[in-house]
Amino acid sequence: MNLTQRDAEVIWHPYTQMLNSSPPIAISHAEGCYLYDENGQRYIDAVSSWWVILHGHSHPYIVEQVQQQLKKLDQVIFAGFTHEPAIALAETLLSILPANQQKVFYTDNGSTAVEVALKMCLQYWYNKNLPRKKVLAFHNGYHGDTFGAMSVSGRSAWTTPFESHLFDVVFIDLPVAQNIEDLKKQVTALSNSLACFIYEPLVQGSAGMIMYGAEELDQLLAHCRDCGVLMIQDEVFTGFGRTGRNFAADYLSTVPDLMCFSKGLTGGTMPLGVTTCTQHIYNAFLSADKLKTLFHGHSFTANPLACTAALASIQLLLSAETQHHIQRICQQHQTFAIEIASHPKVKEVRQTGTILAIEWLAGDGTSYFSGLRDLLYRYFLDHHILLRPLGNIIYILPPYCISNTDLAYIYQTITDALHTI
C-alpha cells in the first residue's frame, strides 16, 4: 500500500472530501521551490504551499538554526517563563514594523492571531467601561476559520453552516476614489459604537486576489484614527515581502493600532502566529485588577523552535540577496502581465509585488466554484506545476528563490492553457 492509499483511510483533507475527488499526492520531500512525490516526480511549488514558504523548502540556514535550538530548548510553558528566541524575535520584528507597534503577543496561526486582535480591541473598550462593541470590516474579506475570524470575514458558502453562531459585523466596500467620502460618512455615523476596523491591506487574498489602492486605504484609515476607531491590519498574507515591500504597511502613511502575522513568519517551516499592538492598548490591560487580564493562551505559545525559525527567516528576508529576488520576481510578473493582458480569454490581470493574478473569462462567471477550477488545477499538475486556482482566477505566488527559468516555464504553461482549455 502506498502513502496515498494509507492517507486516504485515516486523514480528512481540506477541500478533497468530495465524492469522486482525486486522491491526494503523497510528497516525500521538498527542496528550494520544488516538491517531490513518492514516485520521484518533481513539481514547481508556484503557490508557496498555501502562501507560507518564503525562501524555499528546507532552507539550510533555517534548518541549521532550528537544529541548534532543538539541542538547547524545545518547549517551555510561556506563562511565568520566557526564553531568548521569543525575546529576540519580538525585538527584531518590532524593529522593522511601524514605530507605534510596541508589544508582541504570540499564538499558533493566522486565525488565532486575528482572534487575539479582536479580543484585545473588544476588551480594551470593556476595560475602559466604554460601550464600543461593533466591528467594521470589508465585504469579501478573509481572516481565518475560527469563529471570531469567520465572523469578520465575508459571508459565503464557507460560513453558511455557522451563520447563526457568528457575531454581527458592519461590512463596507473597498475604498476607491468614487466612494471614499461615503465610506467616511459611514464610519462617522458609527464611530461612537465601533470597537475596531479589521482589514487586509492592499490585497484580499482568498477573495480572489482582489487588489485596491494604498491612497484610498490611507484616507479611510486616517478618518478611522480621527474617529477613535482602533485599526487591525491583517498582514497574515501580505507580510514579509509579498507586496514587494517588507509589509503592506510600508505603502501607507497611517499606521494601525494592531497587526497580525503568520504564514511566512517562520519561512513556512512551522506554525506560529503574532499579534502586535501599541503601548496604549497594552496599558489598558496593565492593572492590579486581575479581571482586566487578557485571558488567552495556547500550549505552544512562543514555541522556541518556531521563534528560532521565524528569526532566521526574517534575517534572510532582510538580506540584500532576498530583497533582490523579490524585486526580480516583481519585474518578471510585470512583464508577463503586460504580455497576457490582451488575451481574449483574460478578463483582468492584477499584480501587487510578488502576487500575480489572472482572471480567466468563464461561462459561469467569477466564482470560487467555477467549473474551470478543476480543469486548470489538473492541467498545471500534469505539467508539473502546483497552482491552486481560486475558481477561475489563477495566481502565482512563488518562493523568493524561484529562478527566472522556472518563472518563464510557469508563464508559458499559463499561456498554453489559455490556448488549450
Active site residues: 15, 142, 234, 263
- 123 grid coordinates: 476588551
Instruction: Report the interhelical angle of 404-420 vs 320-340 (nearest 10°).
Output: 20
Question: From CA 410, how far away is CA 421, in angstroms rounded?
Answer: 16
Reference 27, options 384, 409, 417; nearest CA is 384
- 261 grid coordinates: 502575522
Tell how far CA 313 is from the center of its chain.
Answer: 16
Give the count of beta carbons closer than 10 Å to the beta carbon of residue 343. Answer: 16
